[in-house]
Amino acid sequence: MAEDLLLAVRDLRTSYFTYEGEVHAVNGVDLEIRRGEVLGLVGESGAGKSTVAWSIMNLVPHPGRVVTGRITYRDQELLRLDEETLREIRGKELALIVPNARNQLNPLVTVGAQLANAYRAHRPRASAREAREQAVAMMAAVGIPDPRRRASAYPHELSGGMAQRIVIGMALLHSPTLLIADEATFGLDVTIQAQVLETFRRLIAERHAAALLITRDLGIVAHYCDRAAVMYGGEIVEQADTARLFVDPLHPYTHLLLSAVRYYDLDRSELDVATTAAHSFDLLRPPPGCFFYDRCPKRMDICRTDHPQLRPVRPNHQVRCHLYADWSADA
């Protein structure tokens, strides 16, 4: 594995085995995350973003499981590790922050003490005083006003947004090599959100770590991610450097996402076609053609019958769409 490649996900397929049948939530996802990089995973609700995160952490909830795929973290195949080794890596190197994570805090310990413990867990020789100072500094970094006083509060004494910031601070004090933030700042006030995301970026740069930022918010992707992967129906449909994706989006679904936030102009009639047919296909029975077929304003006959592959259209830019098939004929 290349020196700076931290995580490689190959052909990941994860399903939920329900009474109705197999829900194909993740349908062959490939991702790479390098040190120093923030990768955004974006897509509407139900796209499979959280299922990707849980698959990487080997925490897919019942009745789900990873069906096939490889997840290589540094030189280790995460899906093949025994639970004990995996738990160790999860605690030390990988961190997953979910929304509304208050219940991850110990209700009986002050938040300052919990943060100080998180700091010392990885720096056993740190003094109690240093740990306390770092805890307070982290509280300030995630936007908690009057952190010195609030350090002695118990979790139930804090608002939901404040508790969420403590959970984020805890994850960061653990110094993860790979931070997976799944809508971690959802619901936080925008200025606080910006401060927290800046803190992610700064720590990742300083520690030569990496992050996967999962969000439905393209604004977050535009501001905080180096690269972005767009998910639809459990697949990556487009992946590019963020600047490229916003300036020159190719997949019709990416157009739709961008038009919804007015970063991009789409013909009004195209938008109507695309938005009126939401939730067009059933993950229990993925269609043989393109998953976006029913909503796509640019669909062609081939799209109904042939499933498009994710293909490179230029360096660092891949798209899963028959419109661009011939661009990569010799790629």
Binding stretches for ligand ATP (CB under 6 A): 16, 18, 23, 25, 43, 45-51, 61, 63-64, 216, 283
The kind and range of the H/E element at 27 are strand 21-34
Q: Which does 51 bind (CB under 5 to 8 A by kind): ligand ATP, Mg ion, none?
A: ligand ATP
CA distances 48 to 14, 45, 73, 96, 155, Å, are 9, 8, 20, 16, 31
Nearer to ligand ATP, 39 or 135 (CB): 39
> Which amino acid, residue 69?
G
Pseudo-torsion of CA 270, 273, 275, 277, nearest 10°? -160
Q: Do 320 and 231 touch, CB atoms closer than 8 A?
A: no
CA distance 282 to 144: 43
Helix axes 268-276, 252-260, angle to 10 degrees: 100
Q: Which does 216 bind (CB under 5 to 8 A by kind): Mg ion, ligand ATP, none?
A: ligand ATP
Q: Which does 9 bind (CB under 5 to 8 A by kind): Mg ion, ligand ATP, none?
A: none
Q: Which does 46 bind (CB under 5 to 8 A by kind): ligand ATP, Mg ion, none?
A: ligand ATP
Least distance in angstroms from the C-beta of 88 to ligand ATP: 26
Nearest CA to 308 among 256, 250, 255, 260?
250
Least distance in angstroms from the C-beta of 19 to ligand ATP: 10
Nearest CA to 129 among 151, 144, 109?
151
Least distance in angstroms from the C-beta of 16 to ligand ATP: 3
Nearer to Mg ion, 61 or 160 (CB): 61
Question: How many C-beta atoms surround the C-beta of residue 74 within 10 A?
Answer: 14
Nearer to ligand ATP, 21 or 315 (CB): 21
Least distance in angstroms from the C-beta of 49 to Mg ion: 5
Least distance in angstroms from the C-beta of 168 to ligand ATP: 18
Least distance in angstroms from the C-beta of 313 to ligand ATP: 25
Nearer to ligand ATP, 148 or 279 (CB): 279
Least distance in angstroms from the C-beta of 48 to Mg ion: 8
Q: Which does 48 bind (CB under 5 to 8 A by kind): Mg ion, ligand ATP, none?
A: ligand ATP
Q: Which does 318 bind (CB under 5 to 8 A by kind): ligand ATP, Mg ion, none?
A: none
Q: Which does 145 bind (CB under 5 to 8 A by kind): ligand ATP, Mg ion, none?
A: none
Q: Do 88 and 135 touch, CB atoms closer than 8 A?
A: no
Nearer to Mg ion, 154 or 186 (CB): 186
Nearer to ligand ATP, 47 or 158 (CB): 47
Residues near Mg ion (CB under 5 A) are: 50
- Written as six digits, the tokens of 3 are 């020196």
Instruction: List, in order, residues 6 or more apart from 3 with CB less than 8 Å away.
Output: none
Nearer to ligand ATP, 36 or 46 (CB): 46
Buried-exposed string 145-181: b where 16+ CB fall within 10 A, e elsewhere: eebeebbebebeebeebbbbbbbbbbbbbbbbbbbbb
